[in-house]
Amino acid sequence: MTQRAEIDAGSELDPVHPMSLPPTARRVPGLTTAEVAERVARGEVNDVPVRSSRSTTEIIRSNVLTRFNAIIGVLWVIMLFVAPIQDGLFGFVIVANTGIGIVQELRAKKTLDGLAVIGEAKPKVRRNGTSAEVSTSEIVLGDLVELGPGDKAVVDGEVVETDSLEIDESLLTGEADPVLKQPGDQVMSGSFVVAGGGAFTATKVGREAYATQLAEEASRFTLVHSELRSGINQILKFVTWLMVPTAIGLIISQLVVKDTDFRNSVARTVGGIVPMIPEGLVLLTSVAFAVGVIRLGRRQCLVQELPAIEGLARVDVVCLDKTGTLTEGGMDVTEVRLLNASGADDAYVRTVLGALGESDPRPNASLLAIKEAYPDGASWHCTEALPFSSARKYSGASFSEGGGRSSSWLLGAPDVLLPHGDPYLDEIDLFNRQGLRVLLLTRICKDLDDPQITDGSSATALVVLEQRLRPDAADTLQYFADQNVATKVLSGDNAVSVGAVAAKLDMPGATATVDARTLPSDRAEMADAMDEGAVFGRVTPHQKREMVAALQSKGHTVAMTGDGVNDVLALKDADIGVAMGSGSEATRAVAQIVLLNNSFATLPSVVAEGRRVIGNITRVATLFLTKTVYSVLLAILVVCSQVEYPFLPRHLTLLSTLTIGVPAFFLALAPNKERAQPHFVRRVMRYSIPSGIIAASATFCTYLLARSHYTGPDALSSETSVATLTLFLVSLWVLAIIARPYTWWRVGLVAVMSLCFVLVLVVPWLQDFFALRLMGTMLPWTAVGVAAVAAAALELVWRWVGRRFPA
């Protein structure tokens, strides 16, 4: 697992990681500027943009070319030939709605693409002998790409330099164990470095790269399940099958059976078909998601898959990695305690620690703190290095101290390096209980790649580090506790130490710490242990993955947060993966949500946006489906009764605008803190079906009463007017119920919609435009009375449904 540094000053290729090479050694210089330009001219560039959102063409196509837009478009063209322009208003409304949807999605795309550029990984490429960060799309064939812990291979290549380079290919091949790479070995795009470093030559770029051929699987391994998306698709499928036979029956009834004016029959037929289509439901769902993306973007939160907003709102367990999530990345060395048995003095130990810091070109947070505290080891020459690995829990190096002396050292977890029952462990436990991180420095007498490396080792010193708590972590943990969302800390550190940190943040269950090495391997038993515990230490990367799967097996919806390469596998398998912006490239690649500001406190905002979307779309969907139900039922009643359809398109356009279209737009974007509930389709249908039945029954009852009352050439217009009044009042009451709990603006919204309808009834030119004129007093008041009875029935049904099927 190590790579010895046997450097030949005259050799062109050097197996040591470039950053660890001594100044006298030569290394592969990479391509020259001229060679890069030549490859760009030939098109040998990694030009495969990984978009964080759909392209502009896809957005326009998905909003314009829909099944329902096609149906409405055909009906609109027909109406423009056979009826006045006011009967074609529904077409202009659809054009406006589609335009709004396109504009909002383009705004969201602009936000996403801007954030994606900020959070884009910048691979290090060596050109002209100098390393520099470039955009992924600027890599050319033959470039020398440098790798370090946490880096993701963005193109395929062949290893030319290695310093104990270990690459995890499990996301591509399913192989669990990291692969130790040697010069000449292949590197697949989409794999990532778990330990060590090196460099490889790009042999396949662009669409020839392995991960690109797997549909950019390295960036999008899973698609977030969206209950809203699948539920709305299910509803639309149901509506389509229901609409087709009903529309055919209505066409036959109005055009064949009834001996009326052809143009009027066509207009009323179209008037019966158009409201069956919930044309604004998909639009408002897209708008709600898009607005959520824009709002979160202002908080430096990159949502790489839109339904992830919804997914996090449904999460009931959040798994946290301590480092980088509960604590900030940096650490401070507070004490180095010499162990008496070693006989080493303080100055010598400081030199050893400094030399270990210098031996790793890309130190982790612990080693970086040591390197900053003890910069005294540069005089020692590193002859062999063993980079830190989350699976091993330690790193090591061998040194030539000068004067013919040499030594080998390990630095890592004391409970891994020391045998069980060692007396030093009790002393270390005292530090752990204070929430401090403790590393053991031990001198070894074996090679770094020896399987029994710790045999005969001499414990030399304890390095005590203090972790910096995130100031906002306690409030975020309290938020999740208040929302009945369980939090689990999965850390590679000592369990007692992690528990002490969690206790400082007042995390529920912080005292119930579990050493993950004692967890059962059986998934069911592990799931039970996960339910009981809250803080787990000494967790390996593959254990994190198993723990997430165990929680999911119990029916939990799991979110995983992290920033290190050891979190990648668990992030990929969790229902929602949340990565820190400063985290490794591999971590950001597999996460659905990236917190570019590295603030754990942003998560409540994401949850709030998800709840807003779910709650509001449920409300809006109930409005739209109520309209579909009463439209279909009215059409069926008309066909069975062999009467004229009571409405022209202009009437239903007016009703839809005032009781659904405008209110739904405001309701879909309003604040909503209701806890997300499952079974979207069932929740919508159990309210919309009885509401639609009541609305259709009340309206048709009023229409039949009006047909028996009015006579003469204007009878049909009068019958339509009172039927419209009843349907408006009943639909308005449905809106009033859905708008609860009331706030000043929701009451105002219902009041304004009522006032608009009153204006249509009293302003002469609006009466003529919409063909609405109430004749006499008895039938209008009868319409109001029928609507009042229907409103009372709505209240009874909604309350019964609420008690019978509680949320």
Pair 236, 621: CB distance under 8 Å: no
Alpha-carbon span 391 to 116, nearest angstrom: 31
Structure tokens given for 412: 């890592």
Helix axes 680-709, 603-641, angle to 10 degrees: 30
Alpha-carbon span 314 to 391, nearest angstrom: 32
321 given a catalytic annotation: yes
Alpha-carbon span 647 to 83, nearest angstrom: 13
**How distant is the alpha carbon of residue 531 from its chain centre?**
24
The one catalytic residue in 321, 360, 415, 567 is 321
Which is nearest to 218 in space by CA: 304, 125, 329? Answer: 304
Helix axes 662-669, 279-297, angle to 10 degrees: 30
Pair 275, 652: CB distance under 8 Å: yes
Structural element, H or E, at residue 778 = helix 778-804
Burial of 799 from C-beta contacts in 10 A (0-12 / 13-18 / 19+): exposed
Question: What radius of gyration do the chain's Cα atoms show?
Answer: 34
Alpha-carbon span 21 to 381, nearest angstrom: 11
Structure tokens given for 530: 């996960």
Angle at 649 between CA 769 and CA 258, to 5 degrees: 110
Pair 483, 675: CB distance under 8 Å: yes
The DSSP secondary structure of 426-450, one letter per residue, reads HHHHHHHTTT-EEEEEEEESS-TT-
Which is nearest to 547 in space by CA: 477, 485, 490? Answer: 490
* Phi, psi torsion values for 23, nearest 5 degrees: -55, -25
Pair 409, 441: CB distance under 8 Å: yes
Q: What's 205's DSSP letter?
A: -
Residue 567: Cβ within 10 Å count: 36
Alpha-carbon span 385 to 370, nearest angstrom: 17
Alpha-carbon span 312 to 309, nearest angstrom: 6
Which is nearest to 515 in space by CA: 492, 538, 531? Answer: 538
Residues tagged active-site: 321
